[in-house]
Chains A and B, each alone.
Chain A
Amino acid sequence: MRPEPKVPAVALAAIRAPFLEAGAERVDPPILQPLGLLLELAGEALRARLFVVQSEGGEEACLRPDFTAAIARLHLASAAAEGRYYYEGTAFRAAPGGDRPEEFLQVGLEIYDQGGTPAAGADAEVAALAWRAAAAGGRKDLSLWLGDVALFGALIDSLGLAPVLAQRLRRAAARPRLLAAELARAGAEPEAPGSGALATRLAGLSETEAAALLEEVWALAGIEPVGGRGPAEIAQRLVRKAEAARTPALSPAQAEAIRAFLAIAAPLDQALEAVDEIGGEAPALSAALGGWAERVERLIRAGAPVERLMFAARLGHTFDYYDGLTFEVRSEALGPERPVAVGGRYDSLPARLGGAQTTRAVGAMVRPWRAYAGGEA
């Protein structure tokens, strides 16, 4: 395992200072986290980056790849409604074949609440905090990049697409390949009605009748059902699939709008103008953009750097659990692949871990060795 060099104490204290001022409780979650739970939350793609450990006969565990899930578990175990947590510790990510550190220091803050106050307040606080901590490392080439996973959804809503297509596109947001395939299909002719005779028959039936018909088909074909999906579920999806096949693909103009949106990466004011232009008069996108005006104002009041605010439409889309604002502090020298700080809103994560549906969460993490001017090169 390649460890990261130590950040000099003075520099580390400067990077840590904004977190100490945030009035948060210091927590120190376990280094060992349950492997199954982390893969359940983040998906199998994370497995290649994890150090997996297991004691004889014990449950499979992994070294924490970051603190987000670990602190979510602490918070939920405490049964508290709200919480502000500050952490500082080592995280571990495998980087085989490379020269990146695999054991590195992270400092961060996670805020949990029940939605009594506007989300924009906590969003701004956390993003500005990440900025101040990163900037305290002394680098002069930093910028604060913002993104918004919800904005893509608003764009899709504004295009007035058939529900099945809109759903597919929303899902594709975090999957570059799926999205590219969907965009490439733009202008394609839908299938002629009449395809899928079984689906056509199922479409007219009640759920019970459809399930019964499907079981009949299984019996006729000599199929012994295995696996966890029942007949009603499969019947429903057969109907939806036939419907999707008859739904027109994106028009070339719609595909162009999505492409143009995803390509946006510019200083914040210009970027938001570009989003506005793509959205035209669409109310869904205007509403989402309206929220941004307030968010920017709060950010600046909280200490974010006006002249170094950037916006990228794709930011954070590949992370499954972000669902609102996303941000990164990037250094020009380190490039977008090695951000100095990252964070965002992940309201759906607590519920997935068994927390209340109303629990909201937002957090930020800084890598001191990257923030430190004499550090990672």
Chain B
Amino acid sequence: MIEPLILAVPSKGRLKEQVEAWLADCRLDLAAAGGARGYTGALKGLPDVHVRLVSAGEIAEALDAGDVHLGVTGEDLLRERGGEVDQRVLLLRPLGFGRADLVVAVPKSWLDVDDMADLEEVAHDILARTGRRMRVATKYLVQTRAFFARHGVADYRIVESGGATEGAPAAGVAELVVDITTTGSTLAANGLKVLSDGVILKSQAQLMASLRASWTTAQLATAERFLRIVEARAAALQTASLVWPGGADGEVTRERLPLSEVAAAAAELTARRLGPVSSYRSDFVFQTDSPAFEALKVRIST
């Protein structure tokens, strides 16, 4: 048996369900060994893939360390690894779920603070007035530090938060927060507002590859098969084939179009008295090239 390709997927929560649904949609159903509570598994149709079920945070860590080849986790968790993470992990595909924004949120009662420039000034005022730095509650230390530095905000302190970060200002342990939000309603319920230029990262779940893992030729070949299936399914979901009688001797013409252009193209054809026009959806559309695999191959070989 050849060395398996190791794929890490989330072991719990909503993200786990979404990843399972995505794999199933690609006809790569995940079967956990030892039932629903197992921590390893396999993908239907790809016997050379070994699946590891771990928490989303540990997936980022394992990709960074090179313990797994591929993984699915939130970009926000990867960016928290610090340093030149793009040198160690390659983002292959955004998956369209697990969306969350990492934002800077201040009390709504701060009517004088709309953006990061205001925050910089307020931070300075607080230090000058109290001799203490403004406190920012967050568990995203690395990204907070980088973002604040980019905006010239220096007079602050991070208060590490384990959970329920949004309650820190009300509890009096911090003046503001840097936290993940999907709709902003939890922040608003805690009397907080997002700064106009305070979005640090628009995060979603991503398929990622570790550049530090050791890659054999066989593992790369397995990765290529996996990526081609994933891409073919995404292409199928995003496009449709338009078919109409347009040839010289009753032959039909076919053209593949993005879904959003189908109606307009059909209208144009029928206006030219070409019809009937039918549109078909495919299960998979395999292209000759695979952008994700090409990117991976280039980065692995350098």
Chain A contact residues, CB within 8 Å of chain B: 36, 39-40, 43-45, 47-48, 96-97, 168, 171-172, 174-175, 177-178, 181, 198, 214, 217-218, 221, 223-229, 233-234, 237-238, 241, 320, 352
Contact = CB atoms under 8 A, between A and B. Distances in A.
B294 interface: no
Contacts of A177: 150-152
Nearest to A214: B111
A229 B108 CA distance: 11
B145 A227 contact: no
B217 to A, nearest CB: 29
Residue of A168, A174, A223 most packed against chain B (CB within 10 A): A223
Given A214-B111, A229-B110, 14 more contacts: A36-B157, A40-B133, A43-B154, A47-B145, A48-B145, A175-B154, A177-B152, A223-B108, A227-B174, A233-B129, A234-B111, A237-B112, A320-B154, A352-B131
A25 B141 CA distance: 39
B110 A227 contact: yes
A97 B85 CA distance: 11
A96 B83 CA distance: 8
Interface of B: 82-84, 106-112, 118, 120-122, 124-126, 129, 131-133, 141, 144-145, 148-152, 154-158, 169-170, 172, 174-176, 190-192
A212 to B, nearest CB: 14
Contacts of B133: 39-40, 43
30 contacts: A39-B133, A40-B133, A40-B157, A43-B133, A43-B154, A44-B145, A44-B154, A45-B149, A47-B158, A96-B82, A96-B83, A168-B121, A171-B124, A172-B152, A177-B152, A223-B191, A224-B109, A224-B191, A225-B107, A226-B169, A226-B170, A226-B190, A226-B192, A227-B109, A227-B174, A228-B175, A229-B107, A229-B126, A233-B125, A237-B121
Given A40-B132, A177-B150, A237 B125 contact: yes
Contacts of A39: 133, 157-158
Contacts of A181: 152
Given A174-B154, A227-B175, A238 B112 contact: yes
Nearest to A174: B154
Nearest to B172: A228
Contact of B191 (A45, A47, A168, A226): A226
B157 to A, nearest CB: 6
A241 B169 CA distance: 24
Nearest to A198: B111
Nearest to B170: A226
A223 B112 contact: no
B109 A44 contact: no
Contacts of B190: 226
Contact of B148 (A44, A48, A174, A218): A44
B131 to A, nearest CB: 6
B83 A225 contact: no
A134 B84 CA distance: 34
Contact of B83 (A47, A97, A237): A97
A172 B120 CA distance: 10
Q: Which 9 A-B pairs have the closest CB atoms?
A: A225-B109, A227-B107, A178-B152, A227-B169, A175-B152, A226-B169, A237-B112, A226-B191, A226-B170
A345 to B, nearest CB: 20
A227 B106 contact: yes
B95 to A, nearest CB: 29
A327 B125 CA distance: 29
Contacts of B192: 226
Contacts of A233: 125, 129
B176 A227 contact: yes
Residue of B106, B122, B152, B191 most packed against chain A (CB within 10 A): B152
A172 to B, nearest CB: 7
Contacts of B144: 44
Nearest to A224: B191
A40 to B, nearest CB: 6
A234 B170 contact: no
A283 B144 CA distance: 42
Contact of A238 (B106, B111, B156, B176): B111
Contacts of A223: 108-109, 191
Contacts of A48: 82, 145
A36 B133 CA distance: 11
A171 B124 CA distance: 8
Contacts of A174: 154
Residue of A44, A172, A224 most packed against chain B (CB within 10 A): A44
A233 B125 CA distance: 10
B141 A47 contact: yes
A132 B264 CA distance: 80
A225 B191 CA distance: 7
Nearest to A179: B152
A33 B157 CA distance: 17
A62 B83 CA distance: 20
Contact of A226 (B109, B141, B149, B158): B109
A47 B136 CA distance: 14
A8 B172 CA distance: 54
A46 to B, nearest CB: 10
Contacts of A47: 141, 145, 158
Contact of A234 (B83, B112, B132): B112
Nearest to B122: A237
Contacts of B150: 177
Contacts of B155: 43
A39 B144 CA distance: 15
A175 B170 CA distance: 31
Nearest to A218: B109
A96 B64 CA distance: 14
A2 to B, nearest CB: 16
Contacts of A214: 111
B158 A44 contact: yes
B175 A241 contact: no
Contacts of A97: 83-84
